[in-house]
Structure 1
Amino acid sequence: MTMQDREPMHEARRLREQAKTEATRRFGAWLDATMTARGMANVELQDLIGVNNSSIGYWRRGLRIPDDWATIRALADVLDTPATQLAVLIGLFLPEELGGEHPPVDEAGVARTWIRQHPEETLEELHDWIQAHPTEAVAHVMAPIMDSPSARRAMGIREQRGRER
């Protein structure tokens, strides 16, 4: 095998590791936000799903992810999130492999990210912009939330069914 043959393999390996690191970080942020919102401690989750407390700590810090389907399923049941969404979040599957299923959304995180990326420099300027453009502000923050079935369920938003004519 020549050096030229190895280059694409090294690049593919690097991209795969980068994707795994990003998925692990994303899962940790989601799990931490979800557990914090519910006031749930690591020990409580440990008792509910039978996983070591230190593993849960690694997950919440975005250093590791669950590595077996039984744990993902138990975690999904306890946190009232479809297991398929967690599988996409962790990177086990692509959304199109599971019929378009998307990972769960951290609603507060979406809002914080949008606020950080907005060009206004102070909270007062941001407040004034939101007051002047409420529809656009809501659309930017709500769009990712509305694309997530788990977020819609958490917010009590029902699916709109198309009417036959």
Structure 2
Amino acid sequence: YFYGGGEASAHRAAEYAEQELQRITALVGYYPYSKTTLMLYNSVGDLRQSNVNLPLPNAVNGGEAQLARMSKVEIAFTGKQTDFKREMSYQITQVLLNDMMYGGSLREVLQSNYLLQLPDWFVGGASAYAAEGWSVDMDAYMRDMVREYPTGNRTAPFFVRNSQLAGQSIWNYVAERYGYGAVQN
């Protein structure tokens, strides 16, 4: 979906989203059950004013499990094509991984939500890895962690400081150590 003034961006985004979906499904080894809605905004201000993307109800709230699935990609064009494409890849991967982990039908969502609670670094890191692969930020983060904590247990500060970069580095390690086919497993 798009609105006035966003026709050119919408056309480019649709083409890129199709290419990315094929690339990411090949990397992850999974194709989604349902269609993904792509909502484009002409500016970050328009995105922030939207009430469409309310917080994801993936947590337990007062004893009630909230069971909504993530099926929308909302993205604003910031003026930089590279940032736009990176963010789109990241969000498409998040939707795909969410569909893979929590299933396509209501029954699968109920079963998965009850049995499977993944940490933020897992899905965020996998999404970042699928969108970017190795990145300079990830490399600098890992180098800083090794310098700051030369010995002892690095696990706690490693995940606390930036869980997404930590997860991305773990997925990068798995791919480099065991091959890209291991990411699917």
What is the TM-score of this pair, normalised by structure 2? Answer: 0.27
Of Structure 1 and Structure 2, which has the larger fraction of its residues in helix?
Answer: 1
What is the TM-score of this pair, normalised by structure 1? Answer: 0.28
| Structure with max Cα Rg | 1
Considering Cα pairs closer than 8 Å and 6+ residues apart, tell me whether 1 or 2 has the greater RCO.
Answer: 2
